[in-house]
């Protein structure tokens, strides 16, 4: 659906943007942004202008996309506008549809999935995630709706507003493709031979205008200068926004949900929770309030602020399962329900599965009744082959260290045997993106709620028990 232009439109009143772009229509909006289709006046290129209303999110997205430029399965950042007193505007390549729309289209048409197609889509997702992870960037919001697709079938990871660089990369790691590859991380560096070549994207040519920020032939010094400048700006803004800021490390989401979940919770008076605001390393700690619930890893649901790239691997497993079945694997209606669904399938989270799980911040706060006979992932993947089930199991598992990396999966025989992955040129890309709005209630309309962080849904049966750690909520 194309949204009509609102009358008061901040992007429209910014001469530095309108001098270079004709704004055509609003094509989407998210938690932090409004996205417009626009035409670049210099060469008529159609682009997406993403006006980001949260500077932290804008910074993250720019920082990550700068590092990942020239990667074929990552959305191209052509340019950006960043001024202290205005919302940042990112100029992105325009991609008309996404994997969620493709899944909806398959479902609507019936007839199941074509394995060759599933393989090609999944390979493209894996390539995008692999390049992020080799650069120590955790995306933190992988879901079909954030995997944009071009008219000719190229899939690109987008929406890096929650992305985080897990360590400062060594700039010496710039390789021929100008990607920054971190040497320190052995798990992700062993046998690094990208199975699919990373080649510069034809559409990634830089903007040549006055506000040029992303330059294809940027040398290392210039790149470093821009990066340092942007960081300094962020630091200044951090200082001025200290009062209201919720940086990583300043907030903790308990397994009961996000802080807003707790605030909204009608049962809030029947239990308590404590959040440690002090003593958390501002620069080092992460927040657990990330990602869209259906794709959120259990360690995040249990409040971890010490997680790694593996949270993306869990999301990948949910995405692969959805490609195979056309249904979301864990469509939780609240964070508690999300955890309950996972536990019903995998069994209770115990040290048998993940030896250090009891150290998760909320592990002792939330306890579920013992699940004697977990359903198992197989039950959710009827008629799928053992290889397909095995891949889902290698991603959707409790212990993050046991999750298969994107690189390992790219080399998995599944993607190299019949039926072979379809060539990109043979992938079917639906013409429209939002035809699900016509669907019947209870169908794909529900899909729009997958990102909601409000726990106003059904909590099911529970009992509140006082323990040595405070109050425990037990669900059955």
Which residues here bind ligand ATP, judged by CB under 6 A?
Answer: 27-33, 35, 48, 50, 75, 92-95, 141, 145-146, 148, 158-159, 161, 451
- Please state the residue numbers annotated as binding site: 50
**Residue closer to ligand ATP, measured from CB, 108 or 203:** 203
Helices 310-325, 386-395: inter-axial angle, 10-degree rounding: 150
CA 101/CA 1 separation, integer angstroms: 12
**Residue 263 CB neighbour total at 10 angstroms:** 11
Shortest Å distance, C-beta 312 to ligand ATP: 15
**Residue closer to ligand ATP, measured from CB, 103 or 392:** 103
Q: Is 216 exposed, middle or buried (0-12, 13-18, 19+ CB in 10 A)?
A: exposed
Both tokens of 451, joined, read 């990102």
CA 434/CA 105 separation, integer angstroms: 10
**Residue closer to ligand ATP, measured from CB, 32 or 368:** 32
CA 113/CA 32 separation, integer angstroms: 34
**Residue closer to ligand ATP, measured from CB, 194 or 451:** 451
- What is the chain's Cα-based Rg? 22
The DSSP string of 34-69 is EEEEEEETTT--EEEEEEES-HHHHHHHHHHHHHTT
Instruction: Judge whether 79 and 207 are in contact, CB under 8 Å.
Output: yes
Q: Does 439 qualify as catalytic in the annotation?
A: no
Catalytic, out of 141, 159, 261, 453: 141
Backbone angles phi, psi at 201, to 5 degrees: -80, 135
Shortest Å distance, C-beta 351 to ligand ATP: 34
**Residue closer to ligand ATP, measured from CB, 148 or 396:** 148
170: helix, coil or strand?
Answer: coil
CA 98/CA 102 separation, integer angstroms: 7
| Enzyme catalytic residues | 141
């Amino acid at each position: 659906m194309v949204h009509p232009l609102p009358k008061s439109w901040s992007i429209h009143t910014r001469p530095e943007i309108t001098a270079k772009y004709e704004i055509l229509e609003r094509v989407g909006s998210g938690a932090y942004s409004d996205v417009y289709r626009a035409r670049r006046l210099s060469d008529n290129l159609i682009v997406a202008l993403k006006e980001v209303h949260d500077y932290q999110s804008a910074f993250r997205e720019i920082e990550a996309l700068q590092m990942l430029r020239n990667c074929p399965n990552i959305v191209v950042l052509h340019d950006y506008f960043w001024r202290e007193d205005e919302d940042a505007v990112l100029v992105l390549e325009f991609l008309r549809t996404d994997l969620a729309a493709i899944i909806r289209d398959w479902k609507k048409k019936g007839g199941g999935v074509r394995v060759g197609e599933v393989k090609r889509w999944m390979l493209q997702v894996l390539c995008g995630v692999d390049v992020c992870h080799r650069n120590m960037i955790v995306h933190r919001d992988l879901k079909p709706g954030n995997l944009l697709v071009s008219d000719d079938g190229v899939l690109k990871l987008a929406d890096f507003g929650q992305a985080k660089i897990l360590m400062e990369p060594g700039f010496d790691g710039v390789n021929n493709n100008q990607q920054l590859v971190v040497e320190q991380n052995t798990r992700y560096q062993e046998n690094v031979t990208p199975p699919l070549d990373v080649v510069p994207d034809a559409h990634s040519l830089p903007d040549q205008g006055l506000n040029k920020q992303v330059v294809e032939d940027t040398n290392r010094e210039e790149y470093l200068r821009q990066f340092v400048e942007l960081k300094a700006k962020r630091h200044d803004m951090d200082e001025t926004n200290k009062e209201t800021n919720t940086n990583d490390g300043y907030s903790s989401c308990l397994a009961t949900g996000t802080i807003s979940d707790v605030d909204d919770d009608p049962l809030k008076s029947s239990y308590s929770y404590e959040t440690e605001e002090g003593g958390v390393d501002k620069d080092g700690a992460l927040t657990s309030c990330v990602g869209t619930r259906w794709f959120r890893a259990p360690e995040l649901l249990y409040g971890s602020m010490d997680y790694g790239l593996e949270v993306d691997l869990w999301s990948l497993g949910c995405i692969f399962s959805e490609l195979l079945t056309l249904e979301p694997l864990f469509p939780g209606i609240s964070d508690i329900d999300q955890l309950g669904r996972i536990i019903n399938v995998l069994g209770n989270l115990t040290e048998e599965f993940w030896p250090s799980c009891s150290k998760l911040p909320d592990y002792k706060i939330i306890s579920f009744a013992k699940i004697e006979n977990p359903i198992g992932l197989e039950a959710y993947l009827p008629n799928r082959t053992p290889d397909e089930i095995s891949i889902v199991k290698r991603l959707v598992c409790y212990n993050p260290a046991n999750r298969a990396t994107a690189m390992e999966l790219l080399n998995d025989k599944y993607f190299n045997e019949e039926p072979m992955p379809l060539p990109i040129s043979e992938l079917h890309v639906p013409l429209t993106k939002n035809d699900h709005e016509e669907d019947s209630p209870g169908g794909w309309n529900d899909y729009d709620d997958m990102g909601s962080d409000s726990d106003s849904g059904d909590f099911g049966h529970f009992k509140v028990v006082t323990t040595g750690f405070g109050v425990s909520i037990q669900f059955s």
